[in-house]
Structure formats: structure tokens, C-alpha cells
Amino acid sequence: MIALSTNRKMMMNSTPVSYFTLSAYVDTGLFKYLYFLIILTLYMLIVCSNVLLIVVICMNRSLHEPMYLFLCSLFVNELYGSSGLFPFLLVQILSDIHTVSAPFCFLQIFCLYTYGGVELLNLAAMSYDRYLAICYPLRYNTLMTYNKIAVLIAVIWLYPFFANALTLTTMTVPLQLCGNVINKVYCDNYYVVKLACSDTTAHNIFGLVNLFTIILGLIVLIIYTYMRILRVCFSGSKQTRQKAISTCTPHLASLLNFSFGAFFEMVQARFNMKYLPNMLRIFLSLYWLTCQPLLNPLLYGLQMSKIRIVCRKLKHIYTP
């Protein structure tokens, strides 16, 4: 009875939230212009490197293979996620009042969470592609057809969009909130749910189901494929081993980088980490959204021999 009356009082005190305040920003004085230049430089590097590799893959028929089509999807996602974060950060850094309207906040949540879902699904599809190419090389062309690639890419993009849109519109947006202060530098669904006065049991159940069925399921699939790939590598010839390692190393590095960033973001959101310096907490919360788009073009552009060869040819063509 006491709990019910307390919940009723909290719901009575709740008011419609028209904007959110991002409290993780601190007054840095003139240093804000330095931070602005750093963020702008990173964003320009991400845009230029990812666009370059997308153009290289699309314009060269020799790269119209399953692995490179999945890479193209990955680079498009890096642009999508970065565009949902970096322009917003640039505006907030120069602003003295760190507020964001509720509709835009939910739009950013949708964009960033969709980016994370597409990234994980894309990495899983790429590991499956490498598994077929290395473990079943003679049947690879029949197992990985263009129709199958189209279906996989459609699932990679449509499922996160549908799932996040459904979650936001039916679960998060209708919540009655008793506050509007988010202790981050960007909008985060978990922090919005923490402001709720109403019952959030459905959110907790959905989060656990999503964690154990989708996220852990994809991670188990990726681990299984690479275990099979390693088994083939160590039982095959030296040439097979070198080819497998050269193609799988970027995928593994990208997966570990993304998993590392996502893990720290989940830990920071769900556990009290106020003992950490504010700048370190901000860095950890931004890591999975910034380092992945920066690292992937370097990993795949430098490691994949076909991409390097095409880039050299383009350089010779356009260099006077």
C-alpha cells in the first residue's frame, strides 16, 4: 500500500517533458574551441575515409564480392552513426546552455541505438561470410549468392530500425518522467528510462530478452565461426593459414574494438562510476561511437590487398 501511494504521488508530480538537460558538459572556457576543432577534425576524417572506401568499392567491379559488399554496408553505417553524434557534439560544445528538445533527443537515441544494432549484425554477417569462404571454399559461390547477400543486408538494416522504432514509440516515449536531467553528453535511452515515475518492468524484461537472445546469440555465432576458421587455419597449409589470417584479422580487430566500447558503455550506465574523473567517463561513453568509425577504414583500407591495389591505381590515374 505504501509503495502504491508513493508511486501515485510521483506520477502526480510528473510533468510532460519538452526538453532534456545534458549535465555532463562542464565549463571549459576557451578550451571549448580546442575541443571543437578536435571533434571537427575527427568527424571530417571519418566522413572522408568512409566515403572514399564506399566510392572505391562501388566504382570497381572487381570489388563487387560478398565480403566487400558487407564492408560497404559497414562503412555506410559508420557515416550514419557519426552523423547522429558529431554535429550534435559540435553544437553543444560551443553552446552555453546544454539542452535538447525531447523529440530531437528521442531521434538521436533512435539513430545511435540503430547504429549499434546494424554494426553488430554487420559484423556477424561478415564473420559468417568468412566462415563459408574458408571452411567451404569449393561451395562458397553456391552458398553465398547475391540473393542471399541482399537478404542479409536487408535484415542487417531493417531489423534494428524496426526494433528501435517499436521500442521507442511503444515503451520509452509514453513514459511519465519526473525529471529531465541526463548525465551524459548525448541522449541515451537508459538514462531517460531512469527518469521515469511510472513502472519500467517492461523495459527491464525487454532489455534482458534482447541481451540474451539477440546480442549474446550474435556473439556466440561470431565466436563459433572464428573457432571453426581457426581450426581450418591450423590444419591447413601455410598459404591457407596466411590467407585466412590476412582476411580475418581486420574483422576480429573491429569486433574486439566494438565489443570493448559497448561493454564499457553498458557497465558505466548501469553501475555508479562517479569516482572516475568526468573527462574519463565522457571518453568511455563516446568510445564505441567514435573509435569504430575511425578504426574500420584504417583496418580494412590498409589490410585488404584488393582495396590497397585499387586505391593505388586511382592515385596514379588522378595524380598529374
With beta carbons less than 8 A apart as the criterion, state whether 178 and 14 touch: yes
- What residues contact residue 60 under an 8 Å CB cut-off, 6+ apart? 310
Say what the pLDDT of residue 6 is. 42
Q: What share of the chain is helix, strand, coil (3-state, %, to 5)?
A: 80, 5, 20
The three-state DSSP-derived secondary structure of 233-249 is HHHCCHHHHHHHHHHHH
Residue 200 is predicted with a pLDDT of 79
Place of cell 552555453: 96
Average pLDDT in the 18-36 region?
A: 86
CA distance 301 to 298: 5
pLDDT at 201: 80
pLDDT at 308: 65
Domains, the chain, ordered by start:
17-318 (1.20.1070.10)
Q: What is the mean pLDDT of residues 147-176?
A: 89
- pTM, to two decimals: 0.87
Check whether 319 has a pLDDT greater than 60. no
What span, in angstroms and rounded, lies between the C-alpha atoms of 91 and 29?
15
Q: What is the pLDDT of residue 78?
A: 94
State the pLDDT at residue 43: 95
Q: Looking at the predicted structure, is the pLDDT value of residue 171 above 70?
A: yes
Look at residue 249 and tell me whether its pLDDT is greater than 90: no
pLDDT at 299 over 80: yes
Q: Say if CB 281 and CB 273 are below 8 A apart.
A: yes
Once rounded to an integer, what is the mean pLDDT over residues 195-204? Answer: 81
